[in-house]
Structure 1
Amino acid sequence: MTATPTQRRQPEPEQVTGGRRVPVTRACRFELVKLVSQWRIRLLVLACWIAPALFVTGVSQQSTLPVDTLFGRWMLASGWAAPLVMLGFAGTWALPLLTSVVAGDVFASEDRLGTWRHLLVAVRSPRRIFVAKAVASLAVLLLLVAGLAVSSAVGGLLAVGDQPLVGLDGHLLAPSDAAISVLLSWVSVLAPTLALAALGLLGSVTLGRSPMGLLVPVLVSLAMAVAQMLPLPVAVRVALPSYALISWNGLFTSPRQLGPLLIGIVVSLLWAVVATALAYVLFVRRDFTDLAHDGSGRRAITVGVLPLVGVAAASFAVVAATTSATGSGIEQDKVQRSLATAFAHLYRMQTDQLNRPAVTEDRLKATASCDKGSTRVAAEGPGNDWRCVVTWHLPGVEATGQAIYQLDVTPDGRFMADGDGPKEVNGYFLVRTPDGDAPNPLWQFDGNVELLDTTSKG
């Protein structure tokens, strides 16, 4: 009679250890304390709640402004421009770095320290451990994002004041409307922040003790930022979570351009759900008895990368099928309409500066004619070779006014209009007012071309 070896059955995730499991709330509190006790997290909290206000205060003392950043040219005109400048910086650099530090190392740190056995004995449930770490990471990230928003807004209001804000189509937002739009802008970027945090959790679970998990949100964000700068079809651009980090600018037009923003939020939340679900499945199926666990490169590709590529492809297909998105989305009539609208609003502002007879945008009847410098080049797509002539007509004046602009249109639809004459309209950066020289609103200004042309009529 021969004995046959029996295969040892792996314990179920909830049966790693016996006894009563720790409640989720207590596990969340434990993980939150662990995160906040780290010196780098404390340093980030202080930086996010103090540095933006110091930056805004410093800029308010300078004669030059960050005009390359959206709303940067209005930082000395309205305190509500400061949190928007900070939001542009955060979407490119701060949010990816914060999600990397907070979520990208939350599981890998336990591998490097060899503390999984102790944690399992204390909590008695891998599922609860995952939920606790995810919730704690989210709470810390919300605290950091809130610090960036509140600090920059308070700094701007204290340094500059609660003045109206010039929107991206040139119209003035009252301080109350500007405050609401700024708040909605910061709330909207929480969705892509969740997507980056979920990617951090997935990288931390998949790559084990490797520090490469820290780089996953940064690398993915960098790749998507590069994609946003390329002349890609608009459906591809909108189908990436990174689009929600820039589509908040549609909140500062009249009417608001909500279509692209809502699509970006939905896509970001979809990425967040899928990446978190993948991280959860991998974590609860892990063999915690293997002390040499160090992640798996093959698993990172098959379980981590390929499903997210599928999500991106599905998002692209849905956007392409349900919208009128074609090509780059930057078309001649859109550029002309956006430029003429912004010019009309800013011309009215200049009229008020000079104490001239009031004129409304409707009576001004501004139009624009744009091309790309040659009849051989199609007037579409991004580029810095757009040349436009704006025409308007003042009531009671027979002559028709004209102004020339050179436009630099970026692939995401933002454009910077540079006045090229006549001097008394847009050819000089100052205008002489009864109270002295003041910045000329028609000299240079930013605008926005709605790529999907789904402007809300509400």
Structure 2
Amino acid sequence: MTATATAPVAGENAAAVRRVSVARGYRFELVKLVSQWRIRLVVLACWTAPALFVAAVSRQSTLPSDTLFGRWMHATGWAGSLVVLGFAGTWALPLLTSLVAGDVFAAEDRLGTWRHLLVAVRSPRRIFAAKALAGLTVVLLLVVGLACSSAGGGLLAVGNHPLVGLDGHLLAPSDAAGKVLLAWACVLAPTLALAAIGLLGSVALGRSPMGLLLPALVALAMQLAQMLPLPVAVRLALPGYAFISWNGLFTDPAQLRPLAIGVAVGLVWAVAATALAYAVFVRRDFTNASYDGTGRRAVTLGALPLAALLGATVAAVAVATPSAGSGIGQDKVQRSVAVAFAHLYRMQTAELKRPAVTEAELRVSAACNKGGGQRTAEGAGNDWRCVVSWHLPGVQAVGTAVYQLDITSDGRFVADGDGPKEVNGYFLVRTPIGDAPNPLWQFDGNVELLDTTPKG
């Protein structure tokens, strides 16, 4: 039996049969969600735990330097928020969307309360809208809590100081604040996509625990896919790519095209998965108390359309982007390393109280190879090696420094200094006022996967 609105009985009091509005149903569903102890606990954790974590780590002598922006947590409070953002996109947000969206419909199946809800509301469509909006509200509350708590904890513990970008340029505190908030806003798109997939799983799989786990499993599959040597078009077409493409905000110029594609794909998936969840919901049989999901309908109205959507987004991105293969090539790596080194060399010069020098005067260049020149200089890997050269005004000798690079498939790299010691071979430099962190010892960078910048 397909759920339909119940017609009013002749002579029945009009007030008694008046339909419940979406706004009233939304308030009811929101109260039901926030009355659950686990939801309250999660909201409390999202609004307090990041601040405590960032404040505690920022005061430690050792920092999570293997985490993006982790090495700068002593320098500025904004770095801690970005560290939390990286963790949230990988683990926290998929689990939170599973907990909220993956259970918003399945809870009624476990409790056997669908009939009571239908009698009260008299419209499956309004029930779906109210539940989806209530779940969205809680998810947004969790994301806002993570952002505000992590930023507040960092600012209180370290302060509002400039932030070093992924190409070594220095962002003023106001610029850093704007880009950190924009990065958190951008991850809403993949979060909504996972939440919509959670709604679909909750509707299609009934009281099965797989509905609750579906967003987390999809996120895990996307993480595994990002570790594979996939073409750029496939990588950008995954609905969770905006969880990592926010890195491009912290380069100069900003690498906005991959981020825009990732956000657009996430929003398309959010709309499509929500529409599929709605289609499954309004066609289900509420008269069967033992309903536990319909396997065939879950496949035909759930899995197959999403698979087709993935194929369509891959084709659209492939047509829209000029890059092919991994997107990581020798010229791009050399350009990224040279730009970052030039910015950071100027920072080291200021620390050592030496005469200021510009990037144009330095004329930094980098020569990089992969596998000692025995392999094609393309793609991700930890066997990249770069020799950086620069010039100082009035000095004929050319300065050189060696770096070992570990480049991941999403274009992020860590450059580890390999000498000379006085330039990049040690994590401290001796300044007139004492030892200070050496910005050239290790640094993070980002290779632009799309061919959007002119080659120098």
Q: Name the TM-score, length of structure 2 as normaliser.
A: 0.96
In the other structure, the counterpart of 2:302 is 304
In the other structure, the counterpart of 2:140 is 142
SS of 1:399 mapped into structure 2: coil
SS of 2:445 mapped into structure 1: strand
Q: Deviations over 1:238-277 (max 9, x none)?
A: 0001111000000000011000000001100111111000
8 Å Cα contact 1:17-1:121 kept in structure 2: no
Deviation at 1:301, TM superposition (A): 2.1
In the other structure, the counterpart of 1:13 is 4
Q: Deviations over 1:83-111 (max 9, x none)?
A: 10000000000000000000000001000
Q: Distance in 1 between matches of 2:49 and 2:441?
A: 32
* Amino acid across the alignment from 2:348: Q
8 Å Cα contact 1:418-1:445 kept in structure 2: yes
In the other structure, the counterpart of 2:114 is 116
In the other structure, the counterpart of 1:89 is 87
Q: Distance in 2 between matches of 1:304 and 1:74?
A: 43
Q: Distance in 2 between matches of 1:237 and 1:140?
A: 29
Question: Does 2:351 align with 1:353?
Answer: yes
Q: Distance in 2 between matches of 1:359 and 1:300?
A: 63
Question: Quick one: structure 1 residues 82 and 455, their matched pair in 2 at CA, closer, same or farther if it must change by over 3 Å?
Answer: farther
Select the residue among 211, 214, 231 that pairs with 2:212.
214
8 Å Cα contact 1:88-1:246 kept in structure 2: yes
Q: Distance in 1 between matches of 2:256 and 2:34?
A: 36
Task: Report the more deviating stretch, 292-301 or 261-270.
Answer: 292-301
* Amino acid across the alignment from 1:343: F
Q: Distance in 1 between matches of 2:296 and 2:284?
A: 15
* Amino acid across the alignment from 1:81: A
Q: Distance in 2 between matches of 1:294 and 1:383?
A: 46
Q: Distance in 1 between matches of 2:235 and 2:270?
A: 18
Q: Distance in 2 between matches of 1:86 and 1:17?
A: 53
Percent identical: 75
* Amino acid across the alignment from 1:210: S
Q: Distance in 2 between matches of 1:11 and 1:104?
A: 23
Q: Distance in 1 between matches of 2:299 and 2:220?
A: 19
Question: Quick one: structure 1 residues 154 and 16, their matched pair in 2 at CA, closer, same or farther if it must change by over 3 Å?
Answer: farther
Deviation at 1:61, TM superposition (A): 2.2
Deviation at 1:325, TM superposition (A): 1.8
Deviation at 1:363, TM superposition (A): 1.3
In the other structure, the counterpart of 2:239 is 241
Deviation at 1:17, TM superposition (A): 6.9
Task: Report the more deviating stretch, 366-375 or 83-92.
Answer: 366-375
Question: Does 2:150 align with 1:159?
Answer: no
In the other structure, the counterpart of 2:430 is 432
Deviation at 1:455, TM superposition (A): 5.2
Q: Distance in 2 between matches of 1:407 and 1:16?
A: 69
RMSD: 1.2
Q: Distance in 2 between matches of 1:207 and 1:439?
A: 54
Question: Does 2:44 align with 1:46?
Answer: yes
Question: Does 2:416 align with 1:454?
Answer: no
Select the residue among 188, 191, 206 that pairs with 1:190.
188
In the other structure, the counterpart of 1:271 is 269
Question: Quick one: structure 1 residues 165 and 17, their matched pair in 2 at CA, closer, same or farther if it must change by over 3 Å?
Answer: farther
Deviation at 1:361, TM superposition (A): 1.1
The gaps in structure 1 that reach 5 residues or longer are 1-9
Deviation at 1:304, TM superposition (A): 1.0
Deviation at 1:62, TM superposition (A): 1.2
Deviation at 1:145, TM superposition (A): 0.5
Deviation at 1:375, TM superposition (A): 3.4
In the other structure, the counterpart of 2:315 is 317
Question: Quick one: structure 1 residues 198 and 361, their matched pair in 2 at CA, closer, same or farther if it must change by over 3 Å?
Answer: same
